[in-house]
Structure 1
Amino acid sequence: MTTVVKAINVHKKFNGQEVLKGVDLEVSDGEVLCILGPSGGGKSTLLRCLNHLETLDDGVVWIDGSIIGYELRDGVLRELPPRKVRQQQREIGMVFQHFNLFPHMTALQNVIEGPMTVRKESRASVTARATELLTAVGLGDRGGAYPSQLSGGQKQRVAIARSLAMNPKVMLFDEPTSALDPELVGEVLDVMRKLAASGTTMIVVTHEIAFARDVADRVAIMVDGTIREIGPPSEVLANPQDPRVRSFLTRVLN
């Protein structure tokens, strides 16, 4: 299968503390990878390095064959100017914990803003696609609503539709249900299940073990800035080999 995401020896420090300690990762076209692990293990930082929201201290990331955030000149990786980085980031969908919708725009306006402003697509074509996307996430009748009129689960579903409107090569989800009330989690996970079934390439940082078990092609467990185990959920979740992984899963599964 075609590799869409590849990370080699990714390191990242904050204030002298090493958060990522040489992470290697490959994700294939259409694959769903769920990243689990204790808080502070580097999961969200890894996502932010994949789309260059954080610069790397060492290592390299490719998405769809392109080095993200850097170019190779004379055998040396040099950081790209911000304009070129933004062009690359258009191809990478990102769904955050806290939605980040524009409060002064309706749900429909939030979804069409990126393709119109960044890709210079026509309002008519973008509006048609945005309406289809809102319908797909169960909000076909809420396009005229403002974020203040939506529940947390509805806001997150608008955020997913907004990312999909850019036709990304890969979708990154950073704990997309952690800010939601428990009764709203299911509606967001249902949308993500449909995305997975449609063949969307997804990397999902989550604490939702049941979702990872049911939907992921592979699960990665991150502890202390490294991926300790990676493989099918049936193997990693049921029979972990690493002691730190066993300790983590014992706590969250019992």
Structure 2
Amino acid sequence: MNAPINMPPLVQARNVHKSFESLEVLKGIDLDVAPGEVVVILGPSGSGKSTFLRCINHLESINRGSIEVDGEQIGYRLNKGRLVRLSNHAIALQRRKIGMVFQQFNLYPHMTALQNVIEAPIGIHGESRRQATENAMALLDRVGLSAKADNYPRQLSGGQQQRVAIARALAIKPKLMLFDEPTSALDPELVGEVLATMRDLAKQGLTMIVVTHEIGFAREAADRVVFMDGGKVVEQGKPEDVIGNPQHPRTRSFLSRFI
């Protein structure tokens, strides 16, 4: 991990609760993520992993608690102890520091790889086309796809599309990258190329929170593994501890299916 010593957390979640009508999905999540840290969240389906990730980016609103990114409360301001939602414009400005990669690639089908990557820098961040194109080509090269810049998504494999999606998320120069099961929609033989790209990002010191079932990636690339179940953090620690010697029975039961 490349986190500076004694730096405040880049992400600070406190007592985060989220319900969908009568279903309580998150039941008081506390989690800090240091600058430069790679945190992998493991857990069974329905444990609240993806919901928590979406709350960090305010794609889902929380019911109680707080989430701060880079010292700024996301989606809300506190007024006399109560959460008051920010305007859509203010939330959009906050999201400029957070990149997110989803299970589905969500590329614009009518745009080339290059056009997909430059869309946000030009349309939202006001970069010149020349500067955005220069940066986008560097990013496509970084994910091994500079030769595919003029290809449309239908001309790319699933793994290539997901790597374009990673380049697109990086194009806004985020301080934090969120990955929501980025390999779950890929054929098994394509998973490796996406994970290799993510390993490279981790080595370069990018702060990352990754929801995945890829235990090998967690073991190799994570600074910390967090195991969630039933809307709570059950266990967390270094990969060699949580994966190699889990303490909680629920963690042991889950990992026994993979190891």
TM-score range relative to shorter protein: over 0.9
Kindly provide the amino acid, as one letter, of the partner of residue 215 in structure 2: I
* Residue-by-residue CA offset, 1:200-226 (whole Å, 9 max, x unaligned): 000000000000000000000001110
CA displacement at 1:33 relative to structure 2: 0.3
Question: Take 2:247 and 2:253, find their aligned partners in 1: how far apart are those partners?
Answer: 10
SS across alignment from 2:213: coil
Bigger drift between 94-103 and 76-85 goes to 76-85
> Who is 1:244 aligned against?
250
**Mapped pair 1:12 → 2:36:** no
Identity score, percent: 60
Q: Which stretch of structure 1 is more off in the superposition, 47-56 or 72-81?
A: 72-81
- SS of 2:109's equivalent in the other structure is coil
Structure 1 moving runs of 4+ over 2 Å: 72-77
Q: Find the aligned partners of 1:192 and 1:137 in 2 and give their Cα distance.
A: 9
Residue in structure 2 matched with residue 205 of structure 1 by the alignment: 211
Residue 201 of structure 2 corresponds to 195
**SS of residue matched to 1:90:** helix
Q: Give the distance between the partners of 1:204 and 1:167, measured in 2 at CA.
A: 18
Q: Aligned residue pairs: how many?
A: 253
Paired with 1:77 and 1:154, the residues of 2 have a C-alpha distance of 41
Cα separation, 2, equivalents of 1:218 and 1:73:
34
Q: Offset of 1:14 from its aligned partner?
A: 1.2
User: 1:93 aligned to 84, 93, 99, which one?
Assistant: 99
SS at the partner of 2:167? helix
Superposition pairs for residues 27-106 of structure 1, below 5 Å?
A: 27-106=33-112
Q: SS of 2:201's equivalent?
A: helix
TM-score (norm 2): 0.96
Instruction: Please report how far the alpha carbon of residue 75 of structure 1 lies from its aligned counterpart in structure 2 after TM superposition.
Output: 4.0
User: 2:257 and 2:205 mapped to 1: Cα distance?
Assistant: 32
**Other structure's SS at 1:24 match:** strand
Give the drift of 1:252: 2.3
Question: What RMSD, in angstroms, separates the aligned Cα atoms of the two structures?
Answer: 0.8
Unaligned runs of 5+ in 1: none
Q: State the 1:73 CA deviation.
A: 3.0
CA distance in 2, matches of 1:77, 1:57: 9
Distance of 1:169 and 1:133 partners within structure 2: 16
Distance 1:48 1:30 in 2: 20
Structure 2 unmatched runs, 5+: none
Indicate which of 213, 224, 241 corresponds to 1:218: 224
Q: Kindly report which structure 2 residues correspond to 1:68-147, keeping only aligned pairs within 5 A, or say none.
A: 68-147=74-153
